Every structure is written in C-alpha cells, then in structure tokens.
Amino acid sequence: MARIAGVNIPERKHVVIAMTAVHGIGRRRAQVVCEGAQVDPTKKVKDLTEAELESLRAEVNKFRVEGDLRREVAMNIKRLIELGTYRGMRHKRGLPTNGQRTRTNARTRKGKRKGK
C-alpha cells in the first residue's frame, strides 16, 4: 500500500492519476511532481520501487497538501466570516459565494428543498 502525504493512493492506477487522491494535487500538479521526481507518469503505482516512492514523497512535501491545505482554507473562510464580508455572510448562511443564482439551482449549497 503506497502512502503519500498520509493518504493511501490507489495501487492499480497510473501514478499521475493516483496522486490526485491527495487533497491539493490535481492532474497538472501530479504531472509536475512526476517530472520533478523523475518518475514515469504512465507507470502503475504497484510497479514503483521504494526509491521512486520516496522521491515522489519528497516532491509532494514541497507543496501545501492535505491537512495543512484544509486548515488554511478553513481559516480563510473563518476570517471572512469574522470580518463580516459579503462572502463571509454567504458562507455562514450556506449559500453560493460567487454570484450564482439561487432562485433555481444552488441545491448543493442550500440542501434539500423545504416544503411550503
């Protein structure tokens, strides 16, 4: 079982895809990490050597991922709420923060419909 940044990454996927299981690493950053670690991105995770895994871990540690990133995002939201900004109030009320319409749609943020 390969662990990177405290996350078990899928064994049967290509390295570049499997690394996206780590919060804060998308496809582009996974490519950059593979290039920096000099690991073939099309190689399966189960075929990686321990040395390649260590070099991937070292490259990932250069970025803010998982717990640190989640904590930073949570602190940014908390700061907006404490300042009383428009975006902070939208976060507090559980509504979309970036100008989307709410008369229809926005069900993900608003939750299940309430009956009249």
The model's pLDDT over 28-66, given as tens digits with 9 standing for 90+, comes to 999 999 999 999 999 999 999 999 999 999 999 999 999
Domain locations in the chain as residue ranges: 2-60, 66-110
Fold for the domain defined by 66-110: 30s ribosomal protein s13; domain 2 (4.10.910)
Compute, in degrees rounded to 10, the torsion defined by CA atoms 9, 12, 14, 17. Answer: -50
Into which CATH architecture does domain 2-60 fall? Orthogonal Bundle (1.10)
What mean pLDDT is reported for the chain?
94
What residue type is assigned to position 44 of the chain?
Answer: K
Is the model's pLDDT at 116 over the cut of 80?
no
Cβ count within 10 A of residue 6: 10
Confidence band, pLDDT 50/70/90 cuts, at residue 114: confident
User: For residue 115, what pLDDT is reported?
Assistant: 76
Residue 99 burial by Cβ neighbours in a 10 Å radius (0-12, 13-18, 19+): exposed
